[in-house]
Structure 1
Amino acid sequence: MFSRRTKTGAAVAAAASIALIATGCAGASDSGGGDGDQIELTVTTFGTFGYDDLYKEYEAANPGIKITANNIDTGGNARTDAFTKLAAGSGLSDVVAIEEGWLGSIMEVSDQFTDLTEYGIEDRKSDWVDWKYAQATDPDGRVIGYGTDIGPEGLCYNRTAFEAAGLPADREAVAELLGGADSTWEDFFTVGKQYKDATGKAWYDHSGFVWNAMVNQLPEGYYTSDGELNVDGNADLEERWGWINDAAAEGLSAAQTAWDWNGGKSFVDGTFATFVCPGWMLGVVQGQVEAGGGDVANSGWDFADVFPGGAANWGGAFLSVPTQSKHPKEAAALASWLTEPEQQVKQFEAAGTFPSTVKAEEELASSGEPNAFFNDAPVGAILAKRAEGVVAQYKGPDDSLIQENVFGPVLQKVDRGEVDADAGWAEALSLLGELVKN
């Protein structure tokens, strides 16, 4: 049964369903196979997954399979797409990527996804870090997703910008400057003020992503571990709200819009100097520099083994097989292959997505392979260190909605100086009450 906890969700889903029926949209697999015995498998991902070459490799090894790929720009838009098609009862691909932030809402309709234990996923259980496999297991013990990546966080920074401010630019020195293994958000903002005083420029791109990183470090974020809303009266959140508001008031935020950095130019022209980077964000940074016309061979960007507040996980995904698929066996085989350790290493090399399989993590930890874009930083080894001790926070059904539609718009106002901390917090709570049921 389709259910949502958002008050607006049912109306949106109903409207979307009508629109799909009116346009005659059929299930993604309704086209059947191709010529002869060929089977077409459709795959929907989002952001930067790095699968293009892997699709070709799989097709070459499996001549009876043709893969048709669809990539949606952001995880938030992918969430909307998935729930619109779940409401309509058609249109989902044979393989659908699910983002960690909205996995909780997917679990409310887990019966609309294939139980992958029917296709042998239990034989691979030991491949993944234990909490990753557990995340994709519903309350009835059904496993609905093959784990792709996890999101340990390090710090992307612009060496050229640091040098212009008279700050050390060597990545080891940058890590030490920010407090090393004991780095705190106070350290981060203190150095940011030094940078702002020296250059007159912003320290980070916008407050939304920094806030998200802070929330992810808490034992419990927008929800308690038993699934209860955990925002109003949450002293840890309120304390961090004060930190991010103070930093914005100091001019440390460049007030960029989430996922829109002036066509990538803000990564090129020195608009900001640092960027919070889970592994999958490394590919985003490179893509933005390319889009902004920057010199990819000498971008100025680097990656340091440090993160304010300690270890944190942001994001990660799963490959699922909706029950709408007409080819569940073949879809499960493709999803399983894409998430094997060997393929996860290749995915990392293509997009920076850090593996969730133990063998792939161990390989990257020992390789020290330099990343030319990030000034030859050994990003795999750095991320392996950043992943030590990381366990993903429980994400409730509307976790991503709260981040994007409750705190997101208010933090934009904070960055623009339109609300102070108290007014902003009150506005966020008001939006929470409008959009999310207790």
Structure 2
Amino acid sequence: MRRGSTKSSWIRWTRAVAVGAVSLTLVAGCSGSSTGDGADGRVTLRVNFWGDFGLDQLKGRYEAANPNVRIVLNSGEFNAQHEDLQKKLVAGSGAADIAAVDQGFVVQFRSQADKFVNLLDKGASSYESRYLPWKWKQSLSADGKTQIGLGTDVGGLAMCYRTDLFAAAGLPTDRDQVSALWPTWDEFIEVGKGYTAKSGKKFIDSGTNLFNPILGQQQAGFYDEQDRLRMDGGPKVAFDYTIKALQADISANLTSFQTDWNRGFASGAFAVLACPAWMLGHIKETAPDTEGKWDIAAVPGGGGNWGGSFLTIPKQSKHVDEAYKLLEWLIQPEQQIEIFKEVGNLPSQPALYTDPAITEFKNPFFSDAPVGQIFPKMAQGLTPQYLGRRNGPTSVAVEDVIRRVQNDTLKGDAAWAEAVKAAEKAANG
């Protein structure tokens, strides 16, 4: 998951409910190898992440089955969590026992594989066949000898829209009819202009949340497989559409995961936004009173990916065995399906895409949209981009330029040159 972001594709295996139950029994039956670090003798496991990984719902159940373990959840801002992890790795202390890493940053961290527990040494190789090949490879060191993380979710794309706001502006509300409005991004922007003219309100939430999904649809992202910055390909296409939308004045120009953006979901500050699977949980949590007012349509341009994360264990952890047992438990089918139903995060394990618990699931918050069919279909068709070692910082730098355009501190025609300059600076570290 990405904050996305600031917040992936996935092979087959046979799910049995017993797998989750057996894993839980094994974890509950193990006393752990570490001495408790609390007054009550319990081991404290700190977990750092952003957004909603569905951990709040699972924490109590795990602790009840493992009375020797206390889980402390630390949800922070997307970029800040990655920056903090990097600082702690350099400092050699202070990192969490389990640290989430977004796919946009995973190459940066896997290049420091010596600072993470090699999950292959803990038996993680037995899970390789469960993952889409590219998802497993994303967190594997270049020499293939160190696996720094196990995948949580993928971010196959769709579009979430407010049916009540669409109806008020004279637009169709049926998800198939809405999908037909915008087969391309040019047509999407035109629909936005019509909506804004009719309603007097903005159509989309922000430029950055247009840039990222469009970039995710391109054949190449910021870097080629030799880790060379290539701004004139996919990034230029995504940037041009973003500036076109901003100049059309259809954006509310909000900053993701900030207070005004969160309020915008409830207040109707925007009517539509790009919706990777992980976004569903955020909308539900942020604007609970809008249940039944949202639906999900196809994304312009067809498919794409935005986000998808991994759980890692920094070597600094004093409770490596306990941390791995928790990580291992979290990726079992029972927990992955529960997370999907509660917060929307689509599992990284494609065998689950044919499990009736997912295929038959319709999300009541989003007008009973068949999310168990929409998002797996998107994920299975993904051809992932190569994400360079400096992909995360480069993305942040370009997004900052887009925000300057949104804030009227930079003119749109001068923005591309600034974006290239910012990206080059980020690429050089």
Q: 1:210 to 1:144 in 2, by over 3 A?
A: same
Give the corresponding residue for 1:383: 375
Query: 5+ residue gaps in structure 2?
Result: 1-32
How far the C-alpha of 1:437 sits from its partner, in A, is 0.7
CA distance in 2, matches of 1:203, 1:427: 26
CA distance in 1, matches of 2:383, 2:237: 23
- Normalised to the residue count of structure 1, the TM-score between the two structures is 0.85
Is 418-427 or 209-218 further displaced after alignment?
418-427
Q: 1:261 to 1:161 in 2, by over 3 A?
A: farther
Q: 1:260 to 1:36 in 2, by over 3 A?
A: closer
CA distance in 2, matches of 1:245, 1:203: 15
CA distance in 1, matches of 2:98, 2:138: 18
Q: Give the conservation status (yes or no) of the 8 Å contact 2:211–2:241.
A: no
Q: Give the conservation status (yes or no) of the 8 Å contact 2:221–2:233.
A: no
How far the C-alpha of 1:32 sits from its partner, in A, is 4.3
> What is the one-letter code of the residue matched to 2:186?
E
Q: 1:61 to 1:32 in 2, by over 3 A?
A: closer
CA distance in 1, matches of 2:234, 2:120: 39
Q: For 1:367-416, what per-residue CA distance to the aligned partner results, in whole angstroms no more than 9, with x for missing partners? A: 33222221221222211122231133221122122222x22222123234
CA distance in 1, matches of 2:361, 2:237: 39
Give the corresponding residue for 2:67: 63
How far the C-alpha of 1:284 sits from its partner, in A, is 1.4
In the TM superposition, 1:124-139 aligns within 5 A as: 124-139=127-142
Number of residues of Structure 1 aligned to a counterpart in Structure 2 = 396
CA distance in 2, matches of 1:396, 1:118: 26
Q: 1:172 to 1:88 in 2, by over 3 A?
A: same
How far the C-alpha of 1:326 sits from its partner, in A, is 1.8
- Normalised to the residue count of structure 2, the TM-score between the two structures is 0.87
CA distance in 2, matches of 1:82, 1:341: 28
Q: For 1:271-326, what per-residue CA distance to the aligned partner results, in whole angstroms no more than 9, with x for missing partners? A: 21111111111111122214xxxx2444x22222x111111111111111111112
> What is the one-letter code of the residue matched to 2:53?
F
Give the corresponding residue for 1:18: none
> What is the one-letter code of the residue matched to 2:416?
W
Give the corresponding residue for 1:17: none
CA distance in 2, matches of 1:256, 1:207: 8
Q: 1:42 is matched with which residue: 46, 67, 71?
A: 46
Q: 1:424 is matched with which residue: 395, 415, 423?
A: 415
Pairwise CA RMSD of aligned residues? 2.2
How far the C-alpha of 1:210 sits from its partner, in A, is 0.6
How far the C-alpha of 1:58 sits from its partner, in A, is 1.8
Q: Does residue 277 of structure 2 align to residue 279 of structure 1?
A: yes
CA distance in 2, matches of 1:251, 1:207: 10
Give the corresponding residue for 2:22: none
CA distance in 1, matches of 2:38, 2:239: 54
Q: 1:60 to 1:400 in 2, by over 3 A?
A: same
Q: Give the conservation status (yes or no) of the 8 Å contact 1:245–1:420.
A: no
Is 197-206 or 316-325 further displaced after alignment?
197-206
> What is the one-letter code of the residue matched to 1:217?
Q
Give the corresponding residue for 1:350: 342
Report the secondary structure of 1:224's partner residue.
Answer: coil
CA distance in 2, matches of 1:412, 1:144: 33
Q: 2:180 is matched with which residue: 176, 180, 192?
A: 176
CA distance in 2, matches of 1:372, 1:143: 37
Q: For 1:88-118, what per-residue CA distance to the aligned partner results, in whole angstroms no more than 9, with x for missing partners? A: 1111121111111111110221110011111
Report the secondary structure of 1:220's partner residue.
Answer: coil
CA distance in 2, matches of 1:171, 1:245: 27
In the TM superposition, 1:215-226 aligns within 5 A as: 215-226=215-226
Report the secondary structure of 1:44's partner residue.
Answer: strand
Report the secondary structure of 2:308's partner residue.
Answer: strand
Q: 1:337 is matched with which residue: 316, 324, 329?
A: 329
Percent identity between matched residues is: 35
Q: For 1:165-192, what per-residue CA distance to the aligned partner results, in whole angstroms no more than 9, with x for missing partners? A: 11100112211222xxxx2212211221
Report the secondary structure of 1:268's partner residue.
Answer: helix
Q: Give the conservation status (yes or no) of the 8 Å contact 1:241–1:421.
A: no
CA distance in 1, matches of 2:34, 2:380: 44
Query: 5+ residue gaps in structure 1?
Result: 1-28
In the TM superposition, 1:169-248 aligns within 5 A as: 169-178=173-182, 183-231=183-231, 234-248=232-246
Is 30-39 or 195-204 further displaced after alignment?
30-39
Give the corresponding residue for 1:325: 317
> What is the one-letter code of the residue matched to 1:244?
T
Q: 1:253 to 1:220 in 2, by over 3 A?
A: same
> What is the one-letter code of the residue matched to 2:166?
F
Give the corresponding residue for 1:316: 308
CA distance in 2, matches of 1:296, 1:166: 20
Q: Does residue 265 of structure 2 align to residue 267 of structure 1?
A: yes
> What is the one-letter code of the residue matched to 1:86?
L
